[in-house]
Amino acid sequence: GTVLAQGLPKLAVKKTYRVGFAQTESNNPWRLAQTKSMQDEARRLGHQLVYTDAAGSTAKQVADVRSMIAQKVDAIFLSPREDKPLAPVVKEAAKAGIPVILLDRNIDPALAKAGTDYVTFIGSDFVQEGQRVANWLVKNAKGKTNIIELEGTTGSSPANDRKKGFDDVIRKNPQFKILASQTGNFARDTGRQVAETLLQANPTANVIYAHNDEMAIGAVSAIRAAGKRPGVDIIVLSIDGGKEAVQMVVDGSINYVVECNPRFGPAAFKTLAGYAAGQKYPAKVINADRDYTPQNAKAGLASAY
C-alpha cells in the first residue's frame, strides 16, 4: 500500500484481503477460541488468513511477523506475546506499507504509537479487570486476608496491567496483604507448581488471585494437594471466563471470574474494513466484559467459550 504522510499505510478498499494473524501460543482454551473466531470470520467473509503460531516464543513471533511482511500480506493482526520486543516489527510493517491492528495484547506505548505505527488496539481493559477482581474480594472477604498472586507471562500487557489494577486496590485496604506474587506464565501446570511452592512457603495464605483461568485451575489442584478446600479455605479468583473455570464457580472451587472475551473475529475484520474506508480509530477499542459470580455462574455457563 501507499504510506501516508503521518506514517500509517493506506489500505485499498477491496472485497477480500490476504491478512496475517500472528498468534502467540495455542496451549489454552482462550487462545483456541480466539484463533477459531478469527478463522471463522475470515472464512465467512472470504478473506485469506495467513496464520502463524509463535508457540510461546517471542523470538518466533518476531520472525513470524517478518515473514508476513516478506509475503506482502495486505494487513497484519498481531497479538504481541510481550509488550516491548514486538515494537520494532510493528514499525517495520508500517514502513513496508502494511497496516497492523493489535489484538488482545498491547505494545508498550513508549515504543510504538497508535495512529502512527499501528491502527489501533482491540481488547479488554486489563487494569480494570484487575480492579474488578480486587473490588469483589474487598467486598466479600472476611477478616485478615493474605493473598498469593499468580502473574501471567512476564512482559505481557495483560500481566502488567492485571497486576497493577489489582495491587492498586489492595494497597488501599490495610487488612489485605499480598504475601507473594510470581509468574505462572499463564499456563496450567506452571500455575499449579508455583501455587504449590507458594502455599508451602505461606501457610497463612487464604486467597489465590490468578491472572488467568488456566493458572487458577492449576492452583485449585495445588490447594487440594495441600489438603485444603479450594473456594472455602482458600478463595480462588481468576480472569478469562472459559467454560471449565465457570463450571468451577458453579461447583464452588473458584469464587469469582472476570470475563476476558476471546471472540475477536467480527471486531477485527470490521475494523479492517472501516480502516480501508477511511474511518479513524481511537488508540484503544475496548471490549465489554461480564463477570461470573456464585450467583450468576450457572446461568452464564452457556455464554462461556
State the number of CA atoms in the 13 A half-sphere of 146 facing the CB. 11
Q: Which of 8, 11, 20, 31 binds ligand GYE (CB under 6 A)?
A: 31
Rule CB under 6 A: is residue 217 a binding residue for ligand GYE?
Answer: no
DSSP letter assigned to residue 224: H
Least Å distance, CB 3 to ligand GYE, is 30
| Per rule CB under 6 A, count of chain residues that contact ligand GYE | 12
Cβ proximity to ligand GYE: between 39 and 48 the closer is: 39
Cβ proximity to ligand GYE: between 117 and 240 the closer is: 240
Least Å distance, CB 207 to ligand GYE, is 19
Rule CB under 6 A: is residue 212 a binding residue for ligand GYE?
Answer: yes
- Stretch of residues binding ligand GYE (CB under 6 A), selected from 27-35, 69-77, 84-92, 196-204: 27-35
CB-based contacts of 273, cutoff 8 Å, min separation 6: none
Rule CB under 6 A: is residue 28 a binding residue for ligand GYE?
Answer: yes
Least Å distance, CB 133 to ligand GYE, is 12
Cβ proximity to ligand GYE: between 41 and 104 the closer is: 104
- Stretch of residues binding ligand GYE (CB under 6 A), selected from 25-33, 135-143, 226-234, 287-295: 25-33
Least Å distance, CB 15 to ligand GYE, is 31
Q: For residue 6, count other CB atoms closer than 10 A to its CB.
A: 7
What is the rounded CA–CA span in Å between residue 216 and residue 281? 35
- Stretch of residues binding ligand GYE (CB under 6 A), selected from 24-32, 53-61, 199-207, 291-299: 24-32
Q: Are 250 and 268 in contact (CB under 8 A)?
A: no
For residue 114, the SS3 value is: strand
233 grid coordinates: 479455605
Per-residue x/- track, 221-240, ligand GYE (CB under 6 A):
------------------xx
Q: Are 287 and 102 in contact (CB under 8 A)?
A: no
Concatenated DSSP letters of 2-61: PBPTTSPBP----SS-EEEEEE---SSHHHHHHHHHHHHHHHHHTPEEEEEE-TT-HHHH
Q: Which of residues 70-129 bind ligand GYE (CB under 6 A)?
A: 104-105
Q: Are 191 and 216 in contact (CB under 8 A)?
A: yes
Q: Which residue in 290, 294, 288 sits closest to 303, CA to CA?
A: 290
Rule CB under 6 A: is residue 163 a binding residue for ligand GYE?
Answer: no
Q: For residue 292, count other CB atoms closer than 10 A to its CB.
A: 28
Q: Which of residues 252-291 bind ligand GYE (CB under 6 A)?
A: 260
HEC secondary structure over 225-261: HCCCCECCCEEEEEEECCHHHHHHHHHCCCCEEEECC
Per-residue x/- track, 168-207, ligand GYE (CB under 6 A):
------------------x---------------------
Q: Under the rule (CB under 6 A), what is the footprint of ligand GYE? A: 28, 30-31, 104-105, 158, 186, 212, 214, 239-240, 260
